Chains A and B, each alone.
Chain A
Amino acid sequence: GEDVEQSLFLSVREGDSSVINCTYTDSSSTYLYWYKQEPGAGLQLLTYIFSNMDMKQDQRLTVLLNKKDKHLSLRIADTQTGDSAIYFCAEARNTGKLIFGQGTTLQVKP
């Protein structure tokens, strides 16, 4: 994931909102994705946003896209202990290749 950057760690208290940030480099990427990885498991698709949108909401998840700055964020409302995991953003290049960031570890404290 050399072209997709994320902060490595975020700690929040249960019930607070979490915001995980990501920057990407390819302005022609058509879709941007958020995946979740729990310990010892594979990645699970959480949500995605098309590049011509600037916001998408899905229950507790809100994705914001600033295409000008190539900045993507994932907001988790009312964060729960079950949300503790590693979150990866990924951009879909027009070659069909998916490029992942290095992941942000979210720690939720009771």
Chain B
Amino acid sequence: EAGVVQSPRYKIIEKKQPVAFWCNPISGHNTLYWYLQNLGQGPELLIRYENEEAVDDSQLPKDRFSAERLKGVDSTLKIQPAELGDSAVYLCASSRQADTGELFFGEGSRLTVL
């Protein structure tokens, strides 16, 4: 079974530029998560989807961050405009069902904002 696929693996942009990350979860996994991981820290949840519905986006900075999962499969996370403090790894994860801690993570997208 293919794992969670994320792209790009690395992205370097200048501040105020937009950036987008893409995630394809494991086939059949209805729940999709976007996490932010700062250097030396554990992942922090940005948004959780159940199929195409965002069920927890309380930690998503909505002034500059947006996410979508239009068909309930793959998802895109966008930042516009990016700030220096957005430099981090953006992790996507999926799980078979809701309310489980058995998450399968992608390799992450490392963002550097100059």
Residues of A within 8 A of B (CB): 1, 4, 8, 31, 33, 40-45, 48, 88, 90, 92, 95-98, 100-103
Per CB-CB distance, the 5 closest pairs between chain A and chain B, nearest first, are A42-B105, A100-B42, A1-B42, A96-B99, A92-B101
Q: Which residues of B contact A1 (CB under 8 A)?
A: 41-42, 44
Q: Which residues of A contact B100 (CB under 8 A)?
A: 92
CB of A103 within 8 A of CB of B98, answer: no
CB of B41 within 8 A of CB of A42, answer: no
Q: Distance in Å from the Cβ of A95 to the closest Cβ of chain B? A: 8
Q: Which residues of A contact B102 (CB under 8 A)?
A: 33, 45, 48
B106 within 8 A of A: yes
Interface residues of B in 92-114 (CB under 8 A from A): 93, 98-108
Question: Within the assembled complex, what's the spacing in Å between the Cα atoms of A90 and B102?
Answer: 11
CB of A42 within 8 A of CB of B56, answer: no
B8 within 8 A of A: no
CB of B42 within 8 A of CB of A4, answer: yes
Q: Which applies to chain B's interface (DSSP): helix, strand, loop or mixed? A: loop
Option from A48, A98, A102 in Cβ contact (under 8 Å) with B41: A102
Q: Which residues of B contact A98 (CB under 8 A)?
A: 45, 101, 103
Question: Within the assembled complex, what's the spacing in Å between the Cα atoms of A97 and B43?
Answer: 12
CB of B107 within 8 A of CB of A103, answer: no
Q: Which residues of B contact A4 (CB under 8 A)?
A: 42
Other A-B contacts than A42-B93, A97-B56, A103-B40, 20 sampled, CB-CB below 8 A, are: A33-B101, A33-B102, A40-B107, A41-B108, A42-B4, A42-B91, A42-B105, A42-B108, A88-B42, A88-B43, A90-B101, A92-B99, A95-B56, A96-B99, A97-B45, A98-B101, A100-B42, A100-B43, A102-B41, A103-B42
- Some 27 contacts from A to B, beta carbons below 8 A apart, are A33-B101, A33-B102, A41-B108, A42-B91, A42-B93, A42-B106, A43-B43, A43-B91, A43-B105, A44-B105, A45-B102, A48-B101, A48-B102, A90-B42, A90-B101, A92-B101, A96-B56, A96-B98, A97-B45, A97-B48, A97-B56, A98-B45, A98-B101, A100-B43, A101-B42, A103-B40, A103-B42
